[in-house]
Amino acid sequence: MARMLAAMGLLYLIIMGSSFASLGVVLPHMIAALHMDYTQAGSGFTVLALAAGLLSMLPAPLIRRLGGRGAMAAGIAALILSYVVLALCRGVAGYFAGALLLGAGFALAGAVPALHLLGAWVESRRALIFGAYLACGGLGGAIWPSVVEGAIKVFGDWRGYWWFMAALASLVGAITLATIREQPDEDRTADEAEGWTLREALRTPQFFIVGCGIAATYFVSSTINAFTMTYLHLHGVGLGIGVFTFSVQSAGHAAFPLLMGGLAARVGVRALLVFGLVIQAIGMVVLAYGWSVPALVMFAIGVGGGYGTLMVATTLAIETYYGRAHFARIFGSNQLFCVISVVGPALTGWVADATGRFDTSFLGCAALLLAAAGAAATLRPPAKASPLRAAPAGLPEQAPWA
């Protein structure tokens, strides 16, 4: 079990690091060579986000048809192919194709199948195991920009970096596939007889409330990744402080999933959801009004830590409310709400063009997060006459929200 967690965590670190966290770092090296304008370069992120969100439902049917190892293999293949396409691309079309495949690999080899496989074997401290896995993704976001710059220096150019990523993903992917252990069919069948189906989950308001938390978090994350550095520059904040702010934010991404996974058994998923959304809102308000180093640290901890908390909270909420039997299908479907992230940068840019200000959009983000927190505060376990109403192992039998 420990080897499977370590291998999957390392793969998730690579996936998170090489996609949203660092594509923007390698992109300036690619723009001139591929003769792209900034609109085309930014559109690659839209392609990546849409692919990652829309394909999040695909792991569940692949797991049913091919098993967990087969589904992960498909995702790893898409990931490796994306790096090869990006290394070989000669124009915008190739860049978009690479971004599309990278989003597919993100969806097919990332959190949905990995948490399904890990959850099938963990009977105790499941929240902590999930938190440890998700923390690996945050760690990837924290360290990978430096990996990109180091690889470009070592290999000479940005194409060398993508070839390096293809080789690294091949190695780690092979190790991951070798460590996977799947739940016996008879155990899975017994679980399915008692669990919630996706159709049943879609009829409950809890599914959409959890989705609203995901939507608000991804909306804010995409917005600040796109415009925080520009905003700080407009207020005279130096590049070094801006980079430091993002480092603190990434550290929050990494640390809070592990910390909150350990606390989940005591406070319950509803408290985690509300806390994660509220501290993000506080961070956005601080950013709108303050540019000193202490204010920026508070912003970074609030947004970074809140993001990490939401990742754990939404995962545990889906499993706690709907059980493990159809976890991959329900969790993957819930991840579709992250598609809203593509709207954030475009809307914020439009507001900035119209008003000359970013603080208005940042306060709007805070209001969106607080609205989602208010909805999350009303959460109760959905009503269904099933033994799965009991909390999964690792969470309290009498949940704090009950």
3 state DSSP class of 183: coil
Q: How far apart are CA 145 and CA 247, in angstroms?
A: 10
pLDDT score of 193 more than 80: no
**Residues 291, 337 within the same domain:** yes
Q: Is the residue at 123 inside a domain? A: yes
Q: CB of 136 within 8 A of CB of 38?
A: no
**Residues 214, 174 within the same domain:** no
User: Is the full-model pTM beyond 0.85?
Assistant: no
Q: Is the residue at 103 inside a domain? A: yes
Can you give the CATH number for the domain in which 45 is found?
1.20.1250.20
Give tens-digit pLDDT for 78-104: 999 999 999 999 999 999 999 999 999
Q: Which residues contact 246 (CB under 8 A, 6 or more apart)?
A: 228, 229, 300
pLDDT score of 186 more than 70: no
- Name the burial class of residue 389, with classes exposed (0-12), middle (13-18) and buried (19+) by CB atoms within 10 angstroms of its CB: middle
Instruction: Give the count of domains, the chain.
Output: 2
Instruction: Single out the residue of 395, 368, 342 nearest to residue 124, CA to CA.
Output: 395
Domain that holds residue 339: 192-392
Average pLDDT, the chain: 87
Give the up-direction half-sphere exposure of residue 20: CA atoms within 13 A in the CB hemisphere: 28
Q: Is the residue at 401 inside a domain? A: no
- End position of a domain, from candidates 122, 149, 183: 183
Mean pLDDT, range 324-353, rounded to an integer = 86
**Residues 147, 225 within the same domain:** no
Give tens-digit pLDDT for 385-395: 444 444 444 44
Q: Is the residue at 91 inside a domain? A: yes
pLDDT at 164: 97
- End position of a domain, from candidates 183, 218, 246: 183
Q: CB of 233 within 8 A of CB of 360?
A: no
What's the N-to-C CA distance of the chain in angstroms?
32
Q: CB of 158 within 8 A of CB of 29?
A: yes
Give tens-digit pLDDT for 227-244: 888 888 888 888 788 878
